[in-house]
Structure 1
Amino acid sequence: MFPMQAAWLDAASPVLDPFGLMRATQAYWQDTFERSVLYWDVMRQRGNQYLEHMAQTRPNVLGFDAEVLIDGRDLPHPVNYELMRILPPEGVTLDPLKRPFVVVDPRAGHGPGIGGFKPDSEIGVAMRAGHPCYFIGFLPFPMPGQHVEDVVDAEIAFLREVGARHAGEKPVVIGNCQAGWQLMMAAALAPDAFGPILIAGAPLSYWAGERGRYPMRYTGGLLGGSWLTALAGDLGAGLFDGAWLVQNFERLNPANTLWAKQYRLYADVDDESARYLQFERWWGGHIVLNAQEIQYIVDNLFIGNRLSTAQLITRDGRRIDLRNVRSPIVVFCSQGDNITPPPQALGWISDLYDGVEDIVANEQTIVYCVHDSTGHLGIFVSGSISRREHAEFTANMDYIDVLPPGLYETAITARDGAETTDGDYLLEFRPRGVDDLQPLVQPREDDERRFATVARLSESGLALYQHYAQPWMQLLMTPEAGRWIRRLHPIRLGYKLLSDRNPLIAPIPVFAEHIRRHRQPLADDNPLRQWEGMLASVIENGLKAYGEWRDRTGERLFLDIYGQPWLQALAGIGPDQARTRPHPGRLPEHRQFLQMRRDALRERITVGGVREAIVRALIYILGGAPTTDERNFQRLKATREELGKSLDLHHFKMLVREQFFILKLDVRAALEALPTLIRRDGDTDIEAHLAHITHILDASGPQSEQVRIRFARVKALFARAAA
């Protein structure tokens, strides 16, 4: 017997009793009526909450008190962004000597605050660890003439202010979703303003994806390019309604949007209403962008995909090259995220670098973590994610800051009782190569050609619209007409019609209050309630099947249309064209840069003293281990103190990186120079150095055979210096 048949029979067994059927039916319909009234009352509260939220001057959903430090409207190029200092809640004590954290939320249709939405959030985790926290938020409407580059410059100014407030300590910066790529642009233009960067669910390579999954990347091609974006901006009289972006997100999962989300509220209205209203306060906080802002984003990022290959150039001639970022970059993504899947979060690495040697030569440290299941919003607000991934990242940012350049994958495992680390988990870093990303990114040259065709045809379509239709649209549309179009957007209208502004809703709160006073929820074993749940599952599965069919059909159309050779030729992409975009890691000037870097390092092999010798030896020995973890950092912190109190974290980081580069350049010459570096030390000092190195190695538990062999070689070299 199939499980579904068994469930139906179990639910039908009480019906064999006629009187039991009558009682169950009466109780079910009474409960259905009560749940229906309570459901519509929650929807009424949602509408009122939406109107109250949108009426605020600075609406956000932060769960913490904050004070505004800098209003972006006062900057030389005014923007609707602002820097806020988060005030610690009662019972939380901040350490002003700890590195500050700055959280930046996405301006992608919703209002700010999701990064500090709950106590278990990015801000909450950092504050509980004692770090001063700041937040970069924004107002609902942009400033006239505001551009994406103005926002990037404003964020740089905000971060410099945070650094100045903490004696030059560069802050850890967390960018969620859209804020992630915006922060990466800022870090490429002003690398000196940033400490470690955590980009969570942030797309940087927009053409990347996996066949059969992640259909959002096909949207630009299926809509015929970016001319519709220009039309939406003109219909808003120069303003683009963020509700259109929210609608795109909702279309991704019709089963949840059209049924499951609302049915969960209806089925468990007694317990679910508070959570539902809390989330809807953020989900319904729609904001507005300038038409030129969204046009820049769609043309250069969503369709053009120019960020990951250093093709973006600012209005004043600065090239936005992500290889200029000098801070460690932590990429956090999830297999369950259909808005920013792992290929789009990680594809920029293989777009930009030809191999891990390029990453090392550019002095970059890139760490990535791929969660196996959480959704897009779960990356920012899930309590389990915050208690594990974000807590580990927060606790180990100083360690990440001194990791040698390269590419690493993190693994978070539960620690046993023998560990010496703080917390419940252990964070490990496993060295990886660019080729190791291929199973996640799954690059396809034929798909690249298709997306390049979309990008070029989009430019033509946009030019035609701007030349022939846009002047008429801008002549016809007025600011008042744009406001009315925003008010009548289906999503916005749904909130307003189900609020106290609608007189037909007036009886609902009266009935709801009466029901709450006498409410007796239906028992879970009621057969009609069980049948209702099974019917709801059937409807949800049907909508899921429709969504999968729609996505498969859209993908097939995209591949068939833009895979046509004649259409690609019309877009200027010939059959023998090797690449549709330049690869910065293979350009001749980049090769020349690498050679200059090698020559400069070769001259520093024998320069230094005991500091350089100990760090060089440790990097060489630990390089023989497949992983490194936070236990090593517990001793590395002591290493910095023992090497000299004047050696602050920044200079210690520079020391580690230089010795790493020297070992990568010529490991044999680097090791042979060790006796020269410590030649001035006596036998006692050299024994102390070896004891210190042994202590660090013991922190990671049993040593591998390769580590023991390397350590033996270092001992021999130190003994030569003693002799």
Structure 2
Amino acid sequence: MLGDYARDSWQRIVLYADVMRKRGNQYQEHLVEDIPNVLDFPAAIVMTGADLPRPVNYGLVRILAPDLPEPDPSKRPFVVVDPRAGHGPGIGGFKPESEIGVALRAGHPCYFVGFLPDPVPGQTVEDVMHAEVAFLEKVIALHPHSGGKPAVIGNCQAGWQILMTAAMRPDLFGPIIVAGAPVSYWAGWHGRNPMRYSGGMMGGSWATALAGDLGNGHFDGANLVQNFEKLNPANTHWSKQYNLYANIDTEAPRYLEFEKYWGGHVFLNAVEMQYIVDNLFIGNRLATAQLITSEGVRLDLRNIRSPIVVFCSNGDNITPPPQALGWITDLYRDDDEVRLHDQTIVYSVHDSIGHLGIFVSGKVGHKEHQKFASNIDLINLLPAGVYEAKIVDKTADTPNADLASGDYVLSVEHRSVDDVRAIVQPDEASDRKFATAARISEVNLSLYRNFMQPWVRAVVTPQSARMLELMHPLRMSYERWNDRNPLAKLVAKEADKVRARRAPVAADNPLLAMQQAFSTAITAGLNSWRDWRDTATEQTFDLVYGNPLLQALAGQGAGVAPRPHPGITAEHSALASSAALALDDEVYQGGLVEAGVRALFFIHRFRAAADERRFNLTLKLLQPLFEQGLRMDDFRAILRRQARLMQHDADATMAAIPVLLSRAHPQAVREMAAGLEQVTAMFDAPTPDEQDSLAQMLDVFGRAAASQAEKKHAVSGKAPAISAATA
């Protein structure tokens, strides 16, 4: 028993050391690649940011899929943008079951925006935004026959950057999916999410400025990765390595695959990182439209007209749901304000997946991302409002299962700003503490720049910055053990011998159980220390920045809102008044399509949810109109406008239907009425209210068709053919 365990332990140690040797070699090979990335797909360069008027280290590539059919030119392209948050690019296409993979299999052309390890000198966050604009303009030009503007996926840091770009140029974007993207940085649940306290605990962003100066104008992304690792010390210092040791015969490929990404550290310009920390991490200005570009453009997320899909998880300790969804309650007080700005927001909260799992988990790629990609047109057509996406298994008992792609059915359910508020749990007292921390950060940064920065910059050289980079603890863990080490070859030879005579210990060996118990105890101890540390951090933050005297010195006090709400401005009131007048003028505008949409809204006004099967059936029924010239973008505008009219004045909007039908051919009116009946009866049995509403609509459409037929017969005795214009 003891001998078997001792032999097995020795073999595991040797094999573990050999895997770590391979990790070091892999790290060195990754460093010398021209364009280091972890994409699992071949790609062709389309555009490089180095050639732009404001050059950046970003680039646009088209994803190639030689094993899949050619993408459908009528489908909107997908553009996946990877986060530049310390690691290199490729996480959005890290595995076949990924954001890129599901988009390709759904028949969409797919592009990827990545970056080089080193930024262009002088590059700023705004420069990157302008590069993203140029990339999207290029994609749009390459797909003139697309059914819509590109769908854009932004992961983590790329999520908020894409939203900033969309607020600046909303005309370039189709549906936007932000996955694990922190946008409202002050938000969080009490007793959890300690990362949001980091800026305040360091006294503000002066430390960021110091790190940039010590890096000679560069900010080392390894520092960001180190912050992530500190969140879960048990995994960082024990579990990840122990899992490799305990499962050394099967775990090595997965471990090395992930480490290629995790060890690919990149740099930001110091000015980029300073902007991010001052305006987002500590200042939290994006979520309340306080950011203004150098050209004078206010980055107001309410300007985005594309649907925004927010995908987050309760298991994400880097971007918890309050930070992913808090911008909604920061910008909007109620649902009327969401509809006023014609904004569609769809959110989905996963129960347990971790931060990186949102982008790389095969299960998430097969389920959530698959349904988002295959139903992107459904999402694009949703009227303004807040919705929650629900994904359920497709079974043999699912009615009309052929109308839903894949193994799941996506449904979209109406929600309210109050529902989001229940998740985010905004707290004005907590916001006041963060506002105080932001003001103290400004003071400390000013003190550093005036009294310390000149001295620091005077002594820093490129050589000293390079030395700090090489001595970073995360890099040293990769640098110190590879084939350059004279002992590495001996380990490699011994590992080959071990693999040839590998003899794993029996699973029921009691010493193996003791080993696992020891590991569990270490993990529990580290978790306890983490919990104590996080509690102490939160309590210290509350004690310092909750101090009434410090708050008063920072301009914060009881009765004073920590941040101005965008909805209380004079411009907002003027927008509301002008929007109401415009809606009054549009009640009698339109024709058959507008009338049919109004009728559908009227029939289903008591339903809070719709799924992809009903949507796909509706599109089939409307196919003749699309063939006659109705464009999907035009139909989207019609759908959203009619929903807004129904919300504004339902009685007047419904009363105007006969006027709209009088502009259509009677046969087309009858076909539309038959389509309404088919859609209503296709799935769940209509409720009594829906049956009564359908009967009313059939009567209205029937009367209109008869009236039109009589008029046309009286004029010519012959009904003219329907055209796209009359429709």
Please classify the TM superposition score into its range, dividing by the shorter chain length: over 0.9
Q: Does 1:311 align with 2:290?
A: yes
Query: Which string of whole-angstrom CA distances, capped at 9 and with x for unpartnered residues, describes residues 396-419 of structure 1?
Result: 001111111111011111123333
Amino acid at match of 1:44: R
Alignment of 1:422-461 (within 5 A): 422-461=405-444
- The structure-2 alpha-carbon separation of the partners of 1:680 and 1:164, relative to structure 1 and needing over 3 Å to count, comes to closer
Per the alignment, residue 614 of structure 1 pairs with: 596
Displacement of 1:718 in angstroms is 2.8
Amino acid at match of 2:332: Y
- The structure-2 alpha-carbon separation of the partners of 1:682 and 1:191, relative to structure 1 and needing over 3 Å to count, comes to closer
Per the alignment, residue 561 of structure 1 pairs with: 544
- The structure-2 alpha-carbon separation of the partners of 1:667 and 1:467, relative to structure 1 and needing over 3 Å to count, comes to same
- How much is the aligned-residue C-alpha RMSD, in angstroms? 1.3
The structure 2 residue matched to 1:263, chosen from 242, 247, 254, is 242
Per the alignment, residue 11 of structure 2 pairs with: 34
Deviates more, 1:298-307 or 1:93-102: 93-102
- The structure-2 alpha-carbon separation of the partners of 1:168 and 1:235, relative to structure 1 and needing over 3 Å to count, comes to farther
Deviates more, 1:504-513 or 1:408-417: 504-513
Deviates more, 1:499-508 or 1:186-195: 499-508
Q: 2: CA distance between counterparts of 1:457 and 1:614?
A: 58
The structure 1 residue matched to 2:494, chosen from 511, 515, 526, is 511
- The structure-2 alpha-carbon separation of the partners of 1:231 and 1:643, relative to structure 1 and needing over 3 Å to count, comes to same
Per the alignment, residue 480 of structure 2 pairs with: 497
Per the alignment, residue 258 of structure 2 pairs with: 279
Q: 1: CA distance between counterparts of 2:31 and 2:145?
A: 37
Per the alignment, residue 8 of structure 1 pairs with: none
Per the alignment, residue 253 of structure 1 pairs with: 232
Q: 2: CA distance between counterparts of 1:709 and 1:301?
A: 52
The structure 2 residue matched to 1:218, chosen from 197, 214, 219, is 197
Amino acid at match of 1:107: R
Displacement of 1:506 in angstroms is 3.6
Q: 1: CA distance between counterparts of 2:179 and 2:318?
A: 12
Q: 2: CA distance between counterparts of 1:699 and 1:150?
A: 51
Per the alignment, residue 86 of structure 2 pairs with: 109
The structure 1 residue matched to 2:693, chosen from 691, 705, 710, is 710
The structure 2 residue matched to 1:144, chosen from 121, 139, 143, is 121
Q: 2: CA distance between counterparts of 1:682 and 1:282?
A: 61
Displacement of 1:683 in angstroms is 5.9
Q: Does 1:628 align with 2:610?
A: yes
SS in 2 for 1:320: coil
Displacement of 1:639 in angstroms is 4.1
Alignment of 1:622-661 (within 5 A): 622-644=604-626, 645-661=628-644
Assess if the C-alpha contact under 8 Å between 1:612 and 1:659 holds in 2.
yes
The structure 2 residue matched to 1:530, chosen from 513, 518, 521, is 513
Amino acid at match of 1:536: S
Amino acid at match of 2:131: A
Q: 2: CA distance between counterparts of 1:481 and 1:706?
A: 75
Displacement of 1:503 in angstroms is 2.2
Per the alignment, residue 11 of structure 1 pairs with: none
Query: Which string of whole-angstrom CA distances, capped at 9 and with x for unpartnered residues, describes residues 70-109 of structure 1?
Result: 1101100000000001111324442232211110000000
Assess if the C-alpha contact under 8 Å between 2:592 and 2:669 holds in 1.
no
Deviates more, 1:540-549 or 1:243-252: 540-549
SS in 2 for 1:199: strand
Per the alignment, residue 724 of structure 2 pairs with: none
Q: How many residues align?
A: 699
Structure 2: unaligned runs, 5 residues or longer: 708-727
Query: Which string of whole-angstrom CA distances, capped at 9 and with x for unpartnered residues, describes residues 10-30 of structure 1?
Result: xxxxxxxxxxxxxx1001111
Assess if the C-alpha contact under 8 Å between 2:218 and 2:268 holds in 1.
yes
The structure 2 residue matched to 1:179, chosen from 158, 161, 169, is 158
Q: 1: CA distance between counterparts of 2:678 and 2:580?
A: 33
Displacement of 1:665 in angstroms is 1.0
Q: 2: CA distance between counterparts of 1:648 and 1:661?
A: 20
Per the alignment, residue 5 of structure 1 pairs with: none
Per the alignment, residue 572 of structure 1 pairs with: 555
Q: 1: CA distance between counterparts of 2:665 and 2:570?
A: 48
The structure 2 residue matched to 1:415, chosen from 389, 394, 404, is 394
Deviates more, 1:480-489 or 1:580-589: 580-589
Q: 2: CA distance between counterparts of 1:607 and 1:142?
A: 52
Q: Does 1:601 align with 2:583?
A: yes
Per the alignment, residue 684 of structure 2 pairs with: 701
Query: Which string of whole-angstrom CA distances, capped at 9 and with x for unpartnered residues, describes residues 366-421 of structure 1?
Result: 10000011000110011111111011101100111111111101111112333332
Alignment of 1:191-230 (within 5 A): 191-230=170-209
Per the alignment, residue 664 of structure 1 pairs with: 647
Q: Does 1:124 align with 2:101?
A: yes
Per the alignment, residue 321 of structure 2 pairs with: 342
Per the alignment, residue 715 of structure 2 pairs with: none
Per the alignment, residue 723 of structure 2 pairs with: none
Per the alignment, residue 722 of structure 2 pairs with: none
Q: 2: CA distance between counterparts of 1:700 and 1:68?
A: 46
Displacement of 1:508 in angstroms is 1.2
Q: 1: CA distance between counterparts of 2:567 and 2:631?
A: 33
SS in 1 for 2:268: strand
Q: Does 1:134 align with 2:111?
A: yes
Displacement of 1:532 in angstroms is 0.5
Query: Which string of whole-angstrom CA distances, capped at 9 and with x for unpartnered residues, describes residues 115-166 of structure 1?
Result: 0000111101111112111000000000000000000110111011011101
SS in 2 for 1:319: coil
Displacement of 1:699 in angstroms is 3.2
Assess if the C-alpha contact under 8 Å between 1:88 and 1:94 holds in 2.
no
Q: 1: CA distance between counterparts of 2:386 and 2:605?
A: 13
